[in-house]
Amino acid sequence: MRRGSVFPWVLLIISAGGAIAAVAHLDAQLKHQQSALKKEKKRSRQAQERAEEYAQRLREAGLALQQEREVIAQTAEELARAKSKASEADELARKLHEAMGSEEGDILRDKDKLTLQLVDKVLFRTAEADLTERGEKVIGRVGEVLKEFRDKQVWIQGHTDRVPIRSERFPSNWELSTARAVNVVHYLQDKAGIDPKRLAAVGFGEYRPASRKKKAQNRRIEIVLFPEDVEMTRSRKAAEEKRSATE
């Protein structure tokens, strides 16, 4: 082969080699770009996942904050109601103290309950259930106070000492204590104008003494005042537990 005819082939081979090298280089660049794109997509996906996680945490934190605000608001409202009830109870106790003399009775306070203990000899004659003239005045003054506080249940409870009574009208202390409570209820309804829906009468006879040593303290009428939404059984149980603890 002549030298002149070889040269073009050499050029062609060189050109082909260059093209192959260029293609290889482009292929390497493409693979590098694809790898970089894949890594970028992965980073983007991870960033999106982190963003969603943070967003979820923010939602949860916002919900927790809202719940905490609601609890705080509810607690503040309950405290305001409790303060209002306490203030009302203070006012009620003050007016009841003014309505009766120190010799006529006493007031006991236990949370949301007020108990007005009235001495039996002020209200009744011995072994009788009809109110005395003085007793009517005392119950009348108490009734005037109770009319101002219309959200109170008014439970009249009759109590006696252990001395047995046997008469035609009162075969036992059950009948005497109950009759006295009923007569006080009638006076509050008929004379003082208390709504009968608020009233109740119950006789305990001798079986719930206030003192185990002083019989005079056991002969009493108790006017127990509860808020409308307080159940009698719960308050009675609490009173019994307190009485047992002090005896």
Q: At what angle do helices 133-146 and 3-99 cross, to 10 degrees?
A: 160
Task: Provide the strand spans (E) within the chain.
Answer: 105-110, 113-119, 152-159, 199-203, 220-227
Domains and CATH numbers, the chain: 84-246 (3.30.1330.60)
Task: Please tell me the predicted confidence (pLDDT) of residue 175.
Answer: 96
- Does the reported pTM lie above 0.85? no
Task: Please tell me the predicted confidence (pLDDT) of residue 242.
Answer: 54
Spatial separation of the C-alpha atoms in residues 156 and 120, rounded to whole Å = 13
Task: Please tell me the predicted confidence (pLDDT) of residue 244.
Answer: 55
| Per-residue pLDDT in tens (0 to 9) along the chain, 247 residues | 555 565 565 556 666 666 677 677 777 887 888 888 888 888 888 888 888 888 888 888 888 888 888 888 888 887 777 677 777 888 888 899 888 877 788 899 887 789 999 989 999 999 999 999 999 999 999 999 999 998 899 999 999 999 999 899 999 999 999 999 999 999 999 999 999 999 999 999 999 999 888 888 899 999 999 887 665 444 455 555 555 555 5
Spatial separation of the C-alpha atoms in residues 168 and 151, rounded to whole Å = 39
Task: Please tell me the predicted confidence (pLDDT) of residue 233.
Answer: 47
pLDDT tens string 102-135: 778 889 988 778 999 998 999 999 999 999 999 9
